[in-house]
Every structure is written in C-alpha cells, then in structure tokens.
Structure 1
Amino acid sequence: MGSGHFPSEGYGKAAWFKNLKYISDGGREVRDAQGITPYATKPNCYDIDLKDWDSDMEVHFYFGGPGYSSTCQN
C-alpha cells in the first residue's frame, strides 16, 4: 500500500491520508486525531510522517516506502 516513496518526499510523491479523525471511547464524539504517536515497525522499509492540523488537510499523514531494498532487511 502506498506509492513506493518515503513520506519525507511529501505531497506529489508519498501516499497520504487527510482529515484524520477518531471516535471517542464513548462513541459519541468524533475528534481530530491530534496528539497521536505514529509508529513504523520497519522504518528503513516503510515509514509514516504525521502532520499537524492545517486548513486544507486538517490532521494528515504521509506514509509508505519502497519496501524491500538493500537498506530494508529482516
């Protein structure tokens, strides 16, 4: 899943999601996903870059990577 580009390459290269939200524990409130911590298990293969809220994309993130390569080993 993704474009084959690392998130550091940004818009136009990396895959992205915008308007990221979550439903509260009580299930009654939809909230912006600010303050969450992204985690990648193999950042040399794939990574994620969470961005703060802005007026065009709200909370958003870039993700992906080339997958298997010389820098991506088990």
Structure 2
Amino acid sequence: MNSDTFEGKWEQLKGKVKAAWGELTDDDLTRINGKVEQLNGLIRERYGRTKEQAETEIRAFLDRHK
C-alpha cells in the first residue's frame, strides 16, 4: 500500500493505527488525517524512534494491511 492509498483508506485504518501505536491519541489521528509523513513524525516523537525506524514500522504496518 502506498501513501496515497493509505490516505484514501484512512477512515478504515485509524483504529488499526491506534492499536499498533497506542500512545497516539484521537486528536493525533485527526491531525494526521492519513498523511504518512505526519504519522512518521508522531511515532518518532512519542516512541523515540529514528526516522528510519519509524519508516520501517510504517512500511511493515502497511504491508500487513494491504
């Protein structure tokens, strides 16, 4: 799944994103609004990941939810 598809399926994926990254709030999910780069930034901020680590986690998440 690419970032355009992720954005298009955002409403269906929000709950799964929250389950995968439980420290993200509903307000965070509203702010992200399906933008992969914003999700990456919040994962780095909340979990102390590097950009590369967050990208790897997001890529794995997207692969699981094709």
More helix as a share of residues: 2
Q: TM-score, normalization: structure 1? A: 0.22
More strand as a share of residues: 1
- State the structure with more CA Rg: 1
Q: TM-score, normalization: structure 2? A: 0.23
